[in-house]
Chain A
Amino acid sequence: MKLFNHYLKKLNFNTNIVYLGFIIIFIFFSVMLYDDGFLSYRNLTNIILQTTPATILAIGLVFALSADVIDLSFGSIVAVCALTTAVLIQNYSVFIAVPCGLLTGLVMGAFNGFFVAYLRLPSFLVTLATLGLFAGLARIITNLRSIPAVDPTFTGIFGSGKLYGIPSLVIWTLVAVLIAHVVYRQSRFGAHVIATGDNSRAAQASGINIYKIRFSVLVLSGGCAALAGILYTGRIQAAKYTLGESDLMIVIAAVIVGGTALNGGKGSIIGALVGSLLMGMLSNGLILMSYSVSQQMIVRGLIILFAIAISLRNLK
């Protein structure tokens, strides 16, 4: 009982609004959609599969925001890396195509990082510009053509495969979140990221190379976008220049609702995961409730607005 009370006191509802919101909405849909398959293994697994790329993107954004930078270009990086991987798979092994796709994302992230960290330009403006630059690149790569990616090894590892009965995308989510959480919370790099975002002058004074940190988080964001692009490609067995285009707002919302501060110094990988799952659960539940598209957009928007308002209010 003492232990229970101890953890109850530690649980700060104000700063854990995403978890509370997730539980409330989960219970709501569980009750309302009890006979409509919401709680079925298939549906719950679908939610994780559908949100895996967004979760990976959210991880990258948590690191970036924590260091007080932002990457608006990750959606376009998703498309470029997806297409690069899909094109290469047509003629080369998966074990060449995928590393090349990842490398492409890292290079694009480094491109962003160079302008932000070393030319000291605002990340918002740099990545707003590269959002368009990379989107144009995605269109040029295959001249708007979609590229199939049906290699069984590729789709097995990055799409519809299973390992001991567990879908590969679920494994990717768990592994990515676990590694990111440990790095963010337990490593020197994670501590430096948070310190840089919290107070860059103090961090610099304590010997942290804040420019290297800002560069690194943008490279990391690019790498996460590349992995998300590869997972998208594995999931739909094709790549298209529009992949990732509509992810920007959803991922930002997931990260903010999950407890990461927009102005740096505070973040949560687990919160971002739950925020991403919350977004996916909302989309899933509203479709299962047979709402029209307009109704879905309104309800989802209101819930996200409410959740963001509470999260940002409590981060002050």
Chain B
Amino acid sequence: MKILKINKLFIALGLMLLTFSFGINAETIGPNGEKATLSSQVTVSDAMANSVKAKGYTAALLWHDQSDFVNAVTAGATDEFARMGIEIVAFGNAAFDAAKQKSDIENAMIKSPNIILSLPLDPVTSAAAFAEARDTGVSLVFLSNLPSDYNHPDDYAAIVTDDLFQMGKQAADALAKSIGGKGTVGWIYHDAAYYVTNQRDNGFKATIENDYPNIEIVSEQGLADPARAEEIANAMLVQNPDISGIYAPWAGPAEGVLAALRSNGNTTTKLVTLDLSEPIALDMVSGGNVAAIVADEAYELGRAMAAAGVLKYEGESVPEFIIVPAITVTSENVSEGWKQSLNIEAPASVLK
């Protein structure tokens, strides 16, 4: 119990610190405070790409899970590697299992890849998992998460992730626009010490508080288990039946919020969330509660990871924290948004 209380204190302090820091910085920063570099500035020139072709480099893509997002990142990385003649010799899916991730890395290392792109499941368990790869000079590029005590540039090429603050800000802008710039809002945030969701959530909150004086956040609810989003939203609606809009931290919980709105017969409260999802997009294009979805450019994220891995291996300096742009997807640009984010056609259901 003491551990629980201390952890809650740290989470609260962390969130307060992040909130305070946004009052000063209002930009995305890395897990250890790293300054961000836009992915468009991380490129492999055609000349370098041609020289790399002759070197026979190989790469491994070792992911945490399977999803449209991961598929898009893989596509971006694959196309960029193909441009440079780099063969992908191993694919892994840890399915959120830390021991499986270690096994995937060990198996991939048998193929002696020069570059590994991966999403470390969490800082603590991944530190030992990537140690062999790090120590043998493999160019490691991490998606969002960083193993504990890994130092840049010796231990890894870069962390690549979304423009976290901007995603939250764009969600706030979209919600504000949908409710005419005034009204009341509920803020459902990810109740965990995880810089990715923390910065996105706080980006939303800071933007509402700083840029929209006529919008008030009347309810703030933390969410640790996405399965509880519906009951959290129900409570929010009971306490604030005329609430103008709700922010959900990502598509999974947003589906729960949508279910709560529908079960309450609420057709007026607007909902915004992050990360593309077909059910959420379908509601949006059907004129439902969903006003907008803010997504990252996952394909570009994969491209940037591949480029960073090659640059490091070629001895070039690589920014330690790289971010890809955010895009706001509405019913007007759902087709273009899907293509830009995931590099695939939008589901047929949302295009009707």
A binds B: yes
Contacts of B91 in A (CB 8 A): 287, 290-293, 296
- Taking a contact as CB atoms under 8 Å apart, the answer to whether A37 and B110 are in contact is yes
- Taking a contact as CB atoms under 8 Å apart, the answer to whether B99 and A53 are in contact is yes
> From residue B250, how far is it (CB to closest CB) to chain A in Å?
17
> From residue A236, how far is it (CB to closest CB) to chain B in Å?
5
Complex alpha-carbon distance, A142 and B4, angstroms: 7
13 A–B contacts, CB within 8 A, in A order: A40-B110, A87-B3, A141-B3, A143-B3, A146-B125, A235-B102, A236-B125, A236-B128, A236-B129, A238-B128, A240-B98, A242-B97, A296-B93
Contacts of B125 in A (CB 8 A): 146, 236, 238, 240
Nearest A residue to B70, CB-CB: A293
B296 in the interface, Cβ–Cβ < 8 Å?
Answer: no
Indicate which residue in B95, B103, B148 contacts A50 across the interface (CB closer than 8 Å). B103
Nearest B residue to A146, CB-CB: B124
- Taking a contact as CB atoms under 8 Å apart, the answer to whether A288 and B111 are in contact is yes
Instruction: Give the interface of A toward B (CB within 8 A).
Output: 36-38, 40, 42-43, 46, 49-50, 53, 87, 140-148, 232, 235-238, 240, 242-243, 245-246, 280, 283-284, 287-288, 290-294, 296
Interface centre among B90, B122, B124 (most CB of A within 10 A): B124
Contacts of B129 in A (CB 8 A): 236
Contact residues, B101-156 vs A (CB, 8 A): 102-104, 106-108, 110-112, 121-125, 127-129, 148
- Taking a contact as CB atoms under 8 Å apart, the answer to whether B106 and A236 are in contact is no
- Taking a contact as CB atoms under 8 Å apart, the answer to whether B110 and A46 are in contact is yes
B7 in the interface, Cβ–Cβ < 8 Å?
Answer: yes
> From residue A144, how far is it (CB to closest CB) to chain B in Å?
7
Contact residues, B55-113 vs A (CB, 8 A): 63, 66, 88-93, 95-100, 102-104, 106-108, 110-112
B44 in the interface, Cβ–Cβ < 8 Å?
Answer: no
Contacts of B26 in A (CB 8 A): none
Contacts of B63 in A (CB 8 A): 293
Given A146-B124, A287-B92, A290-B91, A246 contacting B111 (CB threshold 8 A): no
Given A50-B103, A238-B127, A42 contacting B110 (CB threshold 8 A): yes
- Taking a contact as CB atoms under 8 Å apart, the answer to whether B98 and A147 are in contact is no
- Taking a contact as CB atoms under 8 Å apart, the answer to whether B100 and A240 are in contact is no
- Taking a contact as CB atoms under 8 Å apart, the answer to whether A290 and B90 are in contact is yes
Contacts of A36 in B (CB 8 A): 110-111
Nearest A residue to B129, CB-CB: A236
Nearest A residue to B110, CB-CB: A37
B192 in the interface, Cβ–Cβ < 8 Å?
Answer: yes
Q: A235-B102, A287-B91, A293-B92 are in contact. List 15 more A-B contacts (CB 8 A).
A: A38-B110, A43-B110, A46-B107, A143-B8, A146-B98, A232-B99, A236-B129, A240-B98, A240-B124, A245-B96, A287-B90, A287-B108, A288-B111, A290-B89, A294-B66
- Taking a contact as CB atoms under 8 Å apart, the answer to whether A50 and B106 are in contact is yes
- Taking a contact as CB atoms under 8 Å apart, the answer to whether A288 and B4 are in contact is no
> From residue A247, how far is it (CB to closest CB) to chain B in Å?
8
Nearest B residue to A295, CB-CB: B91
Nearest A residue to B99, CB-CB: A232
B13 in the interface, Cβ–Cβ < 8 Å?
Answer: no
Interface centre among B96, B128, B224 (most CB of A within 10 A): B128
- Taking a contact as CB atoms under 8 Å apart, the answer to whether B110 and A143 are in contact is no
Contacts of A283 in B (CB 8 A): 103, 107
